[in-house]
A and B are shown apart, each in its own frame.
Chain A
Amino acid sequence: MFYVSIFFQYMAQYMKTKLQYRTDLVVEFISDLMFQAVNLIFILVVFGHTTLLHGWTRDEMIFIYGFFLVPFALFGAFFNIWDFNERYIVRGEMDRVLTRPVHSLFQIILERMELESLVGGLTGIIIMVYAGVRLQLEFHWYDLFVFILFVLGGMLVYAGVFISLATISFWSDARSSIMPMMYNVSNYGRYPVDIYNRVIRYILTWVLPFAFVGVYPSAYFLGKKEWYGYAFLTPVMGVSFFMIAVFLWNKGVKRYRGAGN
């Protein structure tokens, strides 16, 4: 309960800050839209040269992409702490965070909130609806709950991986360029994993399980029965990876060396 009230308190502050810089907000929206467009254009261009991708149609690919945008937007809004090392470790902001009586990860998540990313989720839903209509997908009332469950699962997968990466900063004082590279890897979870060989499929399923943010959960809505098992693993993977991340975080905080000196 305390954490919920703190959450809203931070949110209110966030709004006030953001409204001070309105032009930035507009530019950020536009750049977000461009980011979403880049990947869509890739799909469209590729399907200009082929009709099927390992048995998946263009509209199915677009649907997967639309789905992916929703958990990704939630991740971007709440867990996107890519500049953790720079901001909190190198500049020593972590000192301040640790002198406050709220869990340090929770505080940082609240401070780094970027609610405008949520717009991406809206774009995602529009893309899904577009593709879904063209594919004439059936939609049951309970699918809404499945959708929410899978979206949350996917978000936690993302959060888990990126928070775990952020904790590296506690062990190594290196300025990390792993984060941006990881964003590239995360893209591959949006393509049908059966196009990859065993090693990469294994990595995308169990090591950096980005397939659970795109293709696996989408397969459920696309009625690809052979993938249902993986689809329903989505929330489980999400929770487990997030728990691993929190565990690593708590371990890492103990190793924190402080800035300066």
Chain B
Amino acid sequence: MDYAIEVEKLRKEFKSYSSRSGLMGAFRDLFTRNYKIIRAVDDISFTVKQGEMVGYIGENGAGKSTTIKMLTGILTPTSGEVVVNGMNPHKEREAFVRTIGVVFGQRSQLWWDIAVQESFRLLKKVYRVSDKDYKEHMEHVIETLDIGPLLDKPVRKLSLGQRMRCELAAALIHNPPLLFLDEPTIGLDVLVKLKIRQFLKEINEKYKTTILLTTHDIADIEALCERVIMLDEGKIIYDGSLQRLKENWGEGKQVQFTFAKEVTDGELGVLTSDLKVGWRKGEQANSWIAHVPPVHVSDVISRVVARYDIQDINIDEISTEEIIRNIYEEGVVHG
């Protein structure tokens, strides 16, 4: 099996200094400084097969961006091995980047003042794409992303959603076998998100493009990725299928009650004290959510209904977002 990405004990440390407080402190900083080493990525190892779509998730500051930047050759690792597309990203940077596409959701790849197609033309040159390949490949991309009408507008006049679709197209000009997407859907509306997801699925199927995706929107991951890598404080805390994550963590149901009158946490706790139930306040007034093991669902409902006046009951699967929140709260992953 060919690997698109192989990472072995990858580490990145940043040296940062802490400022002393106050004016005197700042003055002392002129002469001596307190340095400390921050390990943003801490000895992580993983591999990604060709054609895989992997979600790379973690809270802010967990080290996602730093990893992506090392994988794309922007940052030099402190230690460890990185082989991407059979190359060492920062050592053979110029040859290497021709084999990848990168989209940073918060940063434009296109030139602000010129029309989109001018940017494309420039990138076509930069990536040395032949006219024939460009026509064959990009016509399809432009059509699928529906950006044809935008091509002669300058980037600064586009809306965020329009710009994002153009960014995506720009990253694909050289039809790279590997695509890095850092927060590609940030700030976009639902329709654009759907379109982008659909498009990514399609190129993955059509060209077997490997995709590594970071996002805060778990729906992106659910729609696209079979596999997730979860990062916390620079370490991988989970690497495996999304399905398994759900099975291990998503056991049980979420039962949401809307009470007619106000109730308290204590009352509910006492009511279900012999069952393994966690209560949490819902978003609406007088609504409470119980996290219940499957065998106790009917038990809990009957007890609550018998005791209180209920306006509404909902039974849901536990959402992936919920699962991930639980994992971060507890900090470990079993299995």
Interface residues of A (CB under 8 A from B): 2, 5-6, 9-10, 13, 16-17, 20, 92-96, 98-103, 254-258, 260-261
Contact = CB atoms under 8 A, between A and B. Distances in A.
Interface stretch (B19-27, B65-73, B211-219, B278-286): B65-73
Nearest to A259: B107
A254 B114 contact: no
Contacts of B100: 99
A2 B104 CA distance: 27
A151 B102 CA distance: 40
B76 A101 contact: no
8 contacts: A92-B107, A94-B74, A99-B72, A99-B102, A100-B97, A100-B127, A101-B98, A102-B94
B74 A98 contact: yes
Contacts of B121: 9
Interface in B79-105: 90, 93-95, 97-98, 100, 102, 104
Interface string B32-53: 0000000010000000000000
A2 B128 contact: yes
A258 B126 contact: no
Q: Which 5 A-B pairs have the closest CB atoms?
A: A101-B98, A99-B102, A98-B74, A17-B113, A9-B125
Interface residues of B, number: 34
Given A95-B104, A99-B72, A258-B69, A13 B126 contact: no
A80 B302 CA distance: 76
Nearest to A111: B111
B74 A258 contact: yes
Contacts of A17: 111, 113-114
Contact of B74 (A6, A9, A20, A99): A99
A254 B90 contact: yes
Contact of A255 (B61, B69, B76, B97): B76
A30 B104 CA distance: 39
Contacts of A103: 94
Nearest to B96: A101
Contact of B118 (A16, A100, A257, A261): A16
Given A9-B125, A13-B114, A92-B107, A98 B73 contact: yes
